[in-house]
Chain A
Amino acid sequence: MTITVNGAAVSLPNDPRVSLLDLLREDLHLPGTKKGCNQGACGACTVLVDGERILSCLALAVQFEGRSVTTIEGLGMPGALHPLQAAFVEHDGFQCGYCTPGQICSAIGMAEEIRRGVPSHVTSDLSSETIALSRDELRERMSGNLCRCGAHNGIIDAIAETFAPKTALAEAAE
């Protein structure tokens, strides 16, 4: 029984009680993924599974047998940052940094959902094939990631610049 983490196959834990989050942090020594609430409420533990964002604290590792997990360590490291990581630095998208890995994984998953045309709670026309990327859309889609430092404005700026440059420009000009 294996699971792929950042490209490498690793064994699943023998004890099914181990969450995906604890597997990453405790067994694989990948502490980038954070444990905020451990109950699904904060988003700090967000990782990508086969490209989809999920909460690793509410998942048992064994549920993900054969799947491919990407954590913040797999997205970019110092010297070779993912463009979104660089944008977070540029736009002050954090203060203490605790929520940041979850925010970044979440935003990358979000970009794929938008590309696929997944609507959100604030999408007015459900029948539309494409999503008009307003700041309201970005905020709603990122609402599962809390930031206790209140860096949300910088976070949305960084995401808008990376995934919706036209939106960012349009609003900056207003």
Chain B
Amino acid sequence: MTPFRYSRATDVADAIRQSGDCNTRYLGGGTNLVDLMRETVERPEALVDVSGLSRDIEELPDGGLLIGAGVRNTALAEHRSVRTRYPALSRAILAGASAQIRNMATVGGNLLQRTRCAYFYDDDGSRCNKRLPGQGCDALEGFNRNHAILGASPSCVAVHPSDMAVALAALDGVVHLHGARGERSFPVADLHRLPGDRPDVDTLLEPGELITAIELPPLPFAARSTYRKVRDRSSYAFALVSVAALLDVEDGRIRDVRIALGGVAHKPWRAFKAEEVLRGGPPRAAAFTAAADAELADAKPLAGNGFKIELARRTIAAVLGELAGETA
């Protein structure tokens, strides 16, 4: 680990003031950043600890929920309103990492955790455009079983590893940011970028911008939502493919639907095409498969991950089937 200064932010304004220098990083639970610093993938000169800020979950007058960026993953998953009104979010968090890590990890840090691509981690042995732009990508021709099938580029085929972010993307979550130039907010589904020729830039955040909260809109049909994660072990493993979905069925028609996929792209992948196919149609198995096919029509396999296309197709159909069964 390269040496760094450590300080604690007393409030949001203090955090932003302290982050003036570009080589300063915010610290949440540290479960990803400390690991990457030890591997010398990240070498900040200063850490500003923001894990003590924004630790509340607030019920909003419109029926939504405002989740502070410093809320621990366990606290969010166990929150009564989340469990009953947005169960896909509880399920997604509980499907990730281990209990110890969820006790440490913050909401902000979880969203901004970096890819688990082994070549990204291997600072002294591999080439990676995300770690060192222009260096090349060893995953393209290497071990790419875990890599992207959607939205990848010749520079980067890494996937975003967060489970929580996939549920937030499906639930129309909105991320609130504070920076030197003021406040702004946009959908969680837009927070992360596709790699293009700048895979070193994961998100739309500007240097020094702080995530202060995530807002969940009131979405009554989210009470019928779930998250399914397919992985190599039944616990404590990253997703090969995951699906978060909400389904609103009335009078034998799909009135509304939200679907997001994990493990398939550089960002939590909101399946807008599949949603479009489903809206207004019957909640039947054939429609679910047709929707999955529409979403995956552009999927491109690498040498090692072709299985993910069929896996995603079946998992989407199975999750929608499960939700439809519940509403029947």
Contacts and interface: CB of A to CB of B under 8 A. Distances in A.
Q: Do A and B bind each other?
A: yes
A110 to B, nearest CB: 7
A40 interface: yes
29 contacts: A15-B3, A17-B1, A52-B103, A53-B99, A53-B103, A54-B100, A55-B31, A55-B104, A58-B31, A58-B34, A58-B104, A59-B29, A60-B6, A62-B6, A63-B49, A109-B99, A109-B103, A110-B99, A118-B74, A119-B77, A119-B90, A120-B94, A121-B95, A126-B83, A126-B90, A127-B83, A140-B235, A143-B236, A144-B236
Given A19-B34, A39-B35, A63-B51, A126 B84 contact: yes
B98 interface: yes
A19 B1 CA distance: 11
Given A63-B51, A106-B100, A16 B83 contact: no
Given A54-B103, A118-B74, A119-B90, 7 more contacts: A16-B4, A54-B104, A55-B31, A55-B100, A59-B30, A119-B83, A139-B235
B91 interface: yes
A117 interface: yes
* A-B pairs, 10 with minimum CB distance: A144-B98, A143-B235, A16-B6, A126-B83, A118-B78, A143-B236, A121-B94, A58-B31, A55-B100, A17-B1
A123 B99 CA distance: 14
A46 interface: yes
A40 B4 contact: no
B3 A17 contact: yes
Interface in B224-272: 235-236
Nearest to A136: B234
Interface of A: 15-17, 19, 38-40, 43, 46, 52-55, 58-60, 62-63, 106, 109-110, 113, 116-121, 123, 126-127, 139-141, 143-145
Contacts of A40: 31, 35, 101
Nearest to B235: A143
Contact of B27 (A63, A120, A127): A63
Nearest to B72: A52
B99 A126 contact: no
Interface residues of B, number: 34
Contacts of A117: 78
Contacts of B77: 118-119
Contact of A119 (B5, B6, B29, B78): B78
B83 A143 contact: no
| Residue among A40, A43, A59, A109 with max Cβ neighbours from chain B (10 Å) | A40
Nearest to B78: A118
Contact of A141 (B83, B84, B99): B99
Contacts of B49: 63
Interface of B: 1, 3-6, 27, 29-31, 34-35, 38, 47, 49, 51, 74, 77-78, 83-84, 87, 90-91, 94-95, 97-101, 103-104, 235-236
A71 to B, nearest CB: 14
Nearest to B1: A17
B100 A53 contact: yes
B273 to A, nearest CB: 29
A113 B74 CA distance: 9
Contacts of B38: 38-39
A39 B30 CA distance: 11
Contacts of B35: 39-40, 58
B86 to A, nearest CB: 10
Contacts of A55: 31, 100-101, 104
Contact of A17 (B4, B27, B74, B83): B4
A101 B98 CA distance: 17
A25 to B, nearest CB: 16
B322 to A, nearest CB: 13
B246 to A, nearest CB: 15
Q: Which of A63, A118, A119 has the most CB of B within 10 A?
A: A63
B206 to A, nearest CB: 26
Contacts of B4: 16-17
Nearest to A62: B6
A127 B94 CA distance: 14
Nearest to A117: B78
A145 B236 CA distance: 10
Contacts of A123: 94
Contacts of A38: 38
Contacts of A139: 235
B100 A43 contact: yes
A59 B31 CA distance: 7
Contacts of B91: 121, 126
A53 B104 CA distance: 9
